[in-house]
Amino acid sequence: MKALIRKEMRENLKVTLVGLAVLLLLILVTYRNYAWTLKNQFFAQDMQPLMGNGVVSMLSFFCAIFGGLLGWLQVWNERHRDLWAFLIHRPLTRTQIFFGKTFAGLLLYLLMPGLPLLVCILWVAIPGHVPAPFEWAMALPIAAAFLGGIVYYFAGMLTGLRQARWYASRCLGLVMAILVSIGVMNSFEFWHGLICIAAGIVILGTAVWGAFRSDGCYEGQPVSGKAALTTVLGAGLALIVFIVMLLAIEVAFRGIRGDEWSRYVMTKGGAIWNVTSKSDGRSNVRRLVVDLDHQPIPEGKTGGLDQSEWQRGEATTSSIHLPSPYSWRGSESFLRSYRFFTLWRVSSGTIWYYWRSQGCLVGYDLTTRRFVGSLGPNGFSQTLPSAADNSHHSVEQSWLSSGHTLATSNAVYEVNLDRRVARRIFTSDSERILAVMDLEKNGADWIYTLIVGEHSIVLLDPQGTLVWKQPFQAPSGWFEDRLKLSSLEPADQYAIWASEIVRTNSPAGASPPVLVTWFGSGQGAPQSVELPALAQSHEWPTLQKLLSASVPPVFVAMTPLLDGHPWPSTIPKELLRISLIVALACVPVVWWLGRRYHFSFVAQVSWVGFIVLTGIPGLLAFLSVQEWPARESCPQCRKPRLVDREHCEHCGAEFPPPEKTGTEIFEPAGTAQA
Amino acid sequence: MNKDIVIRTRGLTRYFGAKPAVYDLNLEVPRGCVFAYLGRNGSGKTTTIRMLLGLLQPTRGEGAILGYDIRALPPEARARIGYLTEDHQLYGWMTVRECGAFQSQFYPQWKEKLFQGILGHFGLKPEARVKDLSRGERAGLCLALTLAPEPELLILDDPAVGLDPVARRLLMESMVQLTRRSDRTIFFSSHQLADVERVADYVAVLDHSVLRACCSLETFRNGVQQVHVRFKGAPPPLPKIPGLLQVFRKADELRLICVRYDGATEQALRALSPTEIEQAPLSLEDAFISYLGDRGEKSLIFSEPEAQP
C-alpha cells in the first residue's frame, strides 16, 4: 500500500502546488488590504483577521473548492476503463485501495492548505502583528473552514466515482457537502459545527468506500455503503427539491400567497401606529395603518403611505440584548468576533476593545500593534487582569453602546479613555445588571445610560443621577426582540418597548401585549401606555405550507432544535402533518416498484420506512440509486421475469440455454494439451 | 474444483440494459494451455474477461478463476493473475523505470531481470516517460509489467490491437517465447487469426454474446469444412443441410462451408445428382470468417454472360 500512497502523492503534487500558489496569493491580498485598513484607519469589528467575515468566507470557499477538486482528481485521473482495471487489479483489497488513496489525499490536504493556515494563525498569535485581542478559540472558524474542506474532498471523490449522469445524481455528494457547510455556518458552538462536519465525513466517506467496492454502482456495495449513498443522495435532493419548489411557487403560485400580519410601529414623533400588512402574492404589500383609536392615518392622494414616506416616518428601533436563558443560543456564534470582543473606539493612537473573556477594555498601539494595557473597574493596568479580578465582569455590552460606560454585574463605570480612568456612576445592590446602553444626542453627546436589571429598568444621566426607574421582569423564555428602544425626534427623546413575555414571564403562545414608555430630556416623568395584544394568526403562511410538502418530515420535526426551541413541544405540527401526508403518498410508488422488482421483505420495509421519514427527496433518492434490471418474458409462464435472477420468480423455471443453430463445436476441456 | 481447470464459468451472463452482452457462458479453461477467445467486435469478449477478473459484476451465473469466486477475488488470487488490458493504459507521468518500481512493490516474486529483458527486447529506455512512448512501446512495457511478477495465469485482452504488423509480431513472439511454460495458462482474446493459429491450443468462439465453439484449435479447423459440388447445368435449390454456414452459388457449382461434414451431409448432397463432390482445405482465418460471418446463400453470378457474335 505504501507504493500506492507514494504514487498518489506524486500524482497529485502538481495540483497541490497550484493550490498553494493560489492560497498564498489570497493571503497576500488579504494582508495588503489589512495593512491598508490600518494605515487609513478604517477600523471595523473585523480587526482580528482570523475572525474577519471576508477572510473566513474566502478560506471556506478555497478549502471547499480545493478539497473537492483534489478528491475528484484522485479518482478522475484513473477513470479510464483500462487504467482503473490496472489499479483495481493490484493484489490489494478495494478497501486497502480506498484507504491508500484517502490517506495520500488527506495527507496532501493537511500539508496544503493545512500547513499554510497554521502558519497564518501562528503569525497572528505572535504579539506585534495584529493590534487586536487574540485567543486560540479565534482560530476555530478557520479550523472549521479547513475541516469542512475534507467533506468536499470526499464529495469530490464520490462525484468522480459515481456511475451516474452529471446532470442527475452524480454531483449530489457536493450538494450534501453544501448542506454541511450551511450547518456549520449556523452552528453556535464549534462542536456543533464539528458534529456536522464529522457526520458529513462519516457519511460521505462510507459512500466513497462503498463506491470503491462496487466501481461506483449501488449494487454490489455493502449495506453500510448503500445506506450512506442513499443518505447522501437524499440529503442532496432535499436541498434541490426545496429550491425547485421555492422557485416553482414564486413563478407559478404567486397569486395564492395572500398572507396578512400586524405589528406596532412608532413614528419619529412618538405616535404609535398599528400596521396591518397584506401581501397579494405579487410582491405588492398593502398596508392598512390605524392609530391606537383605530382611526386611519390621513391618506395622501395615493390612498396610503408610499415606501419613502413610510421610511421617513418610522422611528429607528433597536433590540437591547439580554442574556439568554439558553446557554448555547444566547451568545454569539463561534464564527463571529462579537463572541470575543467588541471594537470600543480609537483614542490617541490606541485602539480599544471590550474583551469579553477578560471583562475589561484592552488597548493596542496602532503603530507598534502591541498591547498597551487594560482598563477595568480597578483602573488602568499594563497587563491583563488576573482571573480573580475579572471573574465578576460578565455583563453583555449592547452593540449600540457608544463606549462611554463599562458595566459589571453590579456596577456601571464611566470610562475616560484619554485619561485611562474608570469612575463608578451606578451601583446595584439588590439585582444583577443584565444590559447597558449609552444614548447619545445627534450621535455625539452622551445624554443617558439605560441600565436593564433583573427587576427594573433604570435611566441615568452622565453624572449618574437617576432619571426614572420602571419595574421589569427578566425573561426566562424565548426573548428575541422583547426589549427594544426607539430613537425619536427631537434627538433626545426615546421610547422603550417591553413585551409581556419579558415583563411577566407569561406563557408563550398568545401574542403578548406591549408596554411602551416614553422618556427624554425636559419631559418630566416618563409616560407609559399598555398596548393590547395584536391578533396573531395561528395559521402557517401558505408559502410555508406548500414548501413543507417538499421537505422531509424528519427535517420538519427537527427544525425547533435548529432554533434552540424546546423539543418536541414546539414541532410545527401542521407543517409536519402536510409533510407526512406527502411522504405517505409516496409510499405506494415504492411499494409497487419493490413488488415489481421482487425486493426482499426486509428491503421493501426498509425503503418504506426511509420514504416515510424523507418524503419526496427520499423517493427521488430511491429512484436514483436503484439499478433497475431488465425483464424478459419467461418461456414457461410467459410472465415478465427479472434477468438478474437464476430462476423465474413466478414459476421457478431456469433461464433457457441459447438456441442451438447446429453449428456448435464443443469438446471437453483437456482434449488437446500443449 | 478440478485442479486442472483454471477458469470455469456456469451460466455466466451479463446484461447492459435490456441487451445481453454475454449470455449463458459455460467455459472451462485447462491449466497450462494457450486459450484463444475469439469473436467479432461487440460479441462479449472484453465483458467476459472483465467479469472473470471481478471488474464487472455478472448479472447472473457464476464463475471461478484459480478456484476463487470471481465475484470476490481476494488479493492472493490477483497476485497470481497477470492482466494485460486492451488499450495498454498506464500513468503517463511515470517513466518506464518508475512503472517497474511501482509494480514491483506489489509483487514479492517480481523478476527484475525478466522485466529488464523485455524492456531490452522492445528497445525501451528506462528514463522515457510513458506519455512519450509509441503504442507498440507501451504494449511492450505493459507486457513486461504483466510478466515480471511471474503470474500463474495470464489474461490478455486483445493485446495486439492497434499495433502495426512489426510491433504485433514482436509482442506475440515475446509473449509466447517468454511465457510458455507447462504450468502457466494464457487466456487471450484476439482478432489476429494468424497469431491465434501460431500460438493457441484451444479456441472459444463467441457469436452475438453466445458461446458457439469451445474446442482445440485442430478440432475447430477440422470442424469447419469447405465442399465444392459441381453440376452439369445450374445447381438445383439446396435442401436443409445440418451445420451449414454459407453457400456460394456459381453458374454450375455450389461451394458449401459447413460444420461437421459427415456421411449424412454427403448423402443429402448426392441426392442433388451432382457430377462431382470435392472437399477443399480451409485456412483458420477463412474458417473463422465463415463461422462468424453472415449465414445463408450468396450468389457469385453478378451479370448475364455476353452474347456470342
A477: distance to nearest CA of chain B, Å?
59
Residue of A nearest to B82 (CA): A89
Residue of B nearest to A80 (CA): B89
Hey, are the CB atoms on A214 and B57 less than 8 Å from each other? yes
Rounded-to-integer distance, Cα A559 and Cα B121, Å:
70
Q: What is the pLDDT of residues A58-90, one digit of tens each?
A: 999 999 999 999 999 999 999 899 999 999 999
Q: Which residue has the higher pLDDT, A231 or A392?
A: A231
From B250, B203, B204, B207, select the one nearest B229 (Cα to Cα).
B250
Residue of B nearest to A89 (CA): B78
Q: What is the pLDDT of residues A350-360, one digit of tens each?
A: 999 988 888 88
CB B76, CB B50: distance < 8 Å: no
Hey, are the CB atoms on B57 and A646 less than 8 Å from each other? no
Hey, are the CB atoms on B216 and A658 less than 8 Å from each other? no
Q: What is the pLDDT of residues A587-646, one digit of tens each?
A: 999 999 999 999 999 999 999 999 999 999 999 999 999 989 999 999 899 999 999 999
Rounded-to-integer distance, Cα A248 and Cα A370, Å:
56
Q: What is the pLDDT of residues A464-474, one digit of tens each?
A: 888 878 777 66
Rounded-to-integer distance, Cα A71 and Cα A162, Å:
13
- The amino acid at B60: R
Rg for chain A (alpha carbons), in Å? 32
Closest by Cβ to A3, choosing from B32, B102, B244: B102
Hey, are the CB atoms on A655 and B214 less than 8 Å from each other? no
Average pLDDT, chain A: 85
- The amino acid at A322: L
The two beta strands, B210-216 and B202-207, are antiparallel
Chain B neighbors of A3, CB-CB under 8 A? 101-102, 105-106
Closest by Cβ to B215, choosing from A88, A220, A665: A665
Q: Which residue has the higher pLDDT, A527 or A549?
A: A549
3-state helix, strand, coil in chain A (%, to 5): 45, 20, 35
B142: distance to nearest CA of chain A, Å?
10
Rounded-to-integer distance, Cα A540 and Cα A571, Å:
13
Tell me if chain A has a CB within 8 Å of the CB of B129. no
Confidence of residue B239 (pLDDT cuts 50, 70, 90): confident
Distance, C-alpha A450 to centroid of its chain: 33
Q: What is the pLDDT of residues B244-257, one digit of tens each?
A: 888 888 888 888 89
CB B158, CB B189: distance < 8 Å: yes
In terms of average pLDDT, the best of A39-48, A216-225, A242-251, A451-460 is A216-225
What was the pLDDT predicted at A607? Answer: 96
- Output the CA–CA distances (angstroms, integers) from residue B119 to A293, B149, B157, B169, in the order listed: 100, 14, 20, 16
Rounded-to-integer distance, Cα A485 and Cα B85, Å:
76
Cβ atoms within 10 A of the Cβ of B235, count?
18
Q: Which residue has the cell 482571573?
A: A387
- How many residue pairs bridge chain A and chain B with CB atoms within 8 Å of each other? 148
Hey, are the CB atoms on B85 and A82 less than 8 Å from each other? yes
Q: What is the spatial order of strands in the sheet that A371-376 belongs to?
A: A341-347, A350-355, A360-365, A371-376, A379-381
- Indicate whether A284 pLDDT > 90: no
CB A649, CB A665: distance < 8 Å: no
Residue of A nearest to B50 (CA): A85
**Phi, psi angle pair for A633, to nearest 5°:** -75, 130
B6, B202, B209, B291: best to mutate for the A interface, most A CBs within 10 A: B202
- Output the CA–CA distances (angstroms, integers) from residue B145 to A437, B112, B119, in the order listed: 78, 10, 10
What was the pLDDT predicted at A304? Answer: 56
Chain B neighbors of A215, CB-CB under 8 A? 55-56
Chain B neighbors of A210, CB-CB under 8 A? none
Residue of B nearest to A645 (CA): B60
Rounded-to-integer distance, Cα A458 and Cα A425, Å:
13
Hey, are the CB atoms on A669 and B29 less than 8 Å from each other? yes
ipTM reported for the complex, 2 dp: 0.89
- Indicate whether A148 pLDDT > 50: yes
Name residues 68-87 of chain B within 8 A of A (Cβ): 74-76, 78-79, 81, 83, 85-87
Residue of B nearest to A647 (CA): B60
B215, B220, B289, B294: best to mutate for the A interface, most A CBs within 10 A: B215
In terms of average pLDDT, the best of A40-54, A112-126, A405-419, B153-167 is A112-126
Name residues 150-209 of chain B within 8 A of A (Cβ): 180, 182, 201-202, 205
Hey, are the CB atoms on A90 and B106 less than 8 Å from each other? yes
Hey, are the CB atoms on B4 and A670 less than 8 Å from each other? yes
Distance, C-alpha B52 to centroid of its chain: 15
Residue of B nearest to A7 (CA): B102
Write the burial class of residue A218 (CB in 10 Å: 0-12 exposed, 13-18 middle, 19+ buried): buried
Average pLDDT, chain B: 88
Rg for chain B (alpha carbons), in Å? 23
Q: What is the DSSP string of A555-576?
A: HHHHHHHHTT--TTTT--HHHH
